[in-house]
Structure 1
Amino acid sequence: MRSEHCLTRNHIEVWHDRVLPAGTERIRLGAVLRGSLLPILVWTGVACFAYFVCNPLVAMVLGGLFALSFVVGFGLRRRVEHSVRCSVYGALGGVFDKSMAGF
């Protein structure tokens, strides 16, 4: 498998089986986001609820938690010599995957 095809596919296959191509093809950011619609909606809903009901500071803390998780996932993937593209897509997919683990 070529390095640009090295992406985290598991979370997308869990949420939308038909989003990804069958084989090892180049995956675009749109496919990663389309496969992560439910986690995106959950993160957005919780952030909006926290902003309007609790306090804008709570929404900022939630956004910081999301950003921190993304940065850690990106760093871990770069440490094992994945490409930048693979690291970005994998970190984004990893955050969505781990945040929805209870569902």
Structure 2
Amino acid sequence: MRPEQCVTGNHIEVCHGSVLPSAPDRISFWMVLRGSLLPILVWTGVGCFAYFVFNPVVAIVLGGLLTLLFIVGFGLRRRAKHSVRCSAYGALGGVLDKSITGF
């Protein structure tokens, strides 16, 4: 994959399409976080609820699961010959986007 195509709006899916630029362009980390604001808020709320209602261990397990999914996504993207930056942004956006599909 050519470097100029790697970190583009075509490769990183986030929840809010209005956040992404209209044409393929380099995406900043802030743009990925801004596009993933809803999943971040949902998972923060779920983690806080689990921490206070059940046990801190439940919140740690939830965070570990999301971290594991990020690592797997990062590894799959690196194996597909994406750059480190594209892999990190894509894995973060992908985990957050796909994790709230059921909500």
Question: Normalized against structure 2, the TM-score is what?
Answer: 0.89
Find the aligned partners of 2:22 and 2:87 in 1 and give their Cα distance: 21
Tell me what 1:5 maps to: 7
Tell me what 2:63 maps to: 63
Partners of 2:51 and 2:58 within 8 A in 1? yes
State the Cα deviation string for residues 24-59 of structure 1 (Å, max 9, x = none): 111000000000111000110000000011000000
How far the C-alpha of 1:6 sits from its partner, in A, is: 3.9
Unaligned stretches of 5+ residues in structure 2: none
Unaligned stretches of 5+ residues in structure 1: none
Tell me what 1:95 maps to: 95
Q: Percent identity?
A: 64
Partners of 1:4 and 1:83 within 8 A in 2? yes
Question: Normalized against structure 1, the TM-score is what?
Answer: 0.89
Find the aligned partners of 1:97 and 1:35 in 2 and give their Cα distance: 9
Tell me what 2:39 maps to: 39
How far the C-alpha of 1:17 sits from its partner, in A, is: 2.7
